Amino acid sequence: MDKIKVVITGANGLLGQYLIRDMAKAGFEVFATNRGASRLPEYEGLEYEYASIDIRDKEAVQQYLFDIRPGIVIHAAAIAQPDACELNKEECRDININATAYIIEAAEKLSARLIYVSTDFIFNGDGGPYREDDLPAPVNFYGESKLASEEIVQKSKTNWAIVRTILVYGTILSGTRSNVVTWVKDNLEKGNHIKVVNDQVRTPTYVEDLSKGIVLIAQQNAKGIFNISGKEVFTPYEMAAQVADYFGLDKSLMEKVTADTFTQPARRPLKTGFVIEKAEKELGYKPVSFKEGIQKMFK
């Protein structure tokens, strides 16, 4: 039987680099795309094709999809930094909203499935942990842009799934990128004093779990919204303390602060986190604990 073709946008990103590997491993024919040159590593024994496309270029992205005729499009490309979105709303609108509409339009014409990667930042943080059917109310432009995209996906005629995730951590396979774990480790190792927020909560997500969750959705042709995150609810301070404990680093360098200590361009929702029962029951999704995630990053 012919392999199902899958186009993955945002291939060079933290999630993308794992998703290319895991979808290829799962037997899909993988077409990776991102703007600029490939930053993907060599995956031993696995094949994929890479194309450089800026998804703001409607003609280019749609022509690419018409040429490949994928059975599934996984749309992970985005400006994923809330402050960057707040400071560059026009660019954020073009990438996070308008480009989704171009991709959906082509997916509809091709009768391709659409799997869209979204965020806990569509919620206001007053009532977490959230379930899939809780009411969104974003508090910053990034959240607004991702919610607007979710709405385009949900109104489309595609056979769609939306994967919502939270505070993704892990080792980027090719290149470096800071996340909660590496930021704490690097600073404490240098003896730097760090201020860590202790009044926000999240359910941090190990990147390999997120990638596997998306593979399960693709394999099972699962439809609708799925919360795909870790299971444990932590404040960033609690996460940092676990990192310090794991590496035997000096916790006295960590200062507990409240989120309003920082003046950031984008407001953050205070308490999010996800209830992941639906993914556990319907997909067989099983995330690692935060401690296991740290272990896997540094094994």
Ligand X SMILES: NC(=O)c1ccc[n+]([C@@H]2O[C@H](COP(=O)([O-])OP(=O)(O)OC[C@H]3O[C@@H](n4cnc5c(N)ncnc54)[C@H](OP(=O)(O)O)[C@@H]3O)[C@@H](O)[C@H]2O)c1
Of 88, 77, 3, 69, which is closest to residue 34 (Cα–Cα)? 77
Smallest distance, Å, CB 24 to ligand X? 17
Which helix (H) or strand (E) covers residue 242, if one does? helix 236-247
Q: Which is nearer to ligand X, 81 or 253 (CB)?
A: 81
Of 198, 199, 206, 200, which is closest to residue 231 (Cα–Cα)? 206
Smallest distance, Å, CB 180 to ligand X? 9
Q: Which is nearer to ligand X, 72 or 78 (CB)?
A: 78
Smallest distance, Å, CB 286 to ligand X? 20
Q: CA quadruple 114, 119, 122, 128: dihedral positive or negative?
A: positive
Q: Which residue is nearest to ligand X (CB)?
A: 13
Residues in contact with ligand X by the rule CB under 6 A: 10, 12-16, 34-36, 54-56, 76-80, 95, 117, 119, 146, 165-168
Q: Which is nearer to ligand X, 2 or 90 (CB)?
A: 90
Q: Which is nearer to ligand X, 95 or 181 (CB)?
A: 95
Of 67, 69, 72, which is closest to residue 115 (Cα–Cα)? 72
Q: Which is nearer to ligand X, 124 or 165 (CB)?
A: 165
Q: How far apart are CA 162 and CA 225, in angstroms?
A: 5
Smallest distance, Å, CB 34 to ligand X? 5
Residue 199 main-chain phi, psi, to 5 deg: -120, 10
**Burial letters for 119-138: b for 16+ Cβ neighbours within 10 Å, e otherwise?**
bbbbbbbeebbbebeeebeb
Smallest distance, Å, CB 129 to ligand X? 15
Smallest distance, Å, CB 2 to ligand X? 27
Find out whether 64 and 106 touch, Cβ atoms under 8 Å. Answer: no
Q: Which is nearer to ligand X, 28 or 206 (CB)?
A: 206
Find out whether 275 and 130 touch, Cβ atoms under 8 Å. Answer: yes
Strand locations in 55-204, DSSP E? 72-75, 113-119, 160-165, 168-169, 194-197
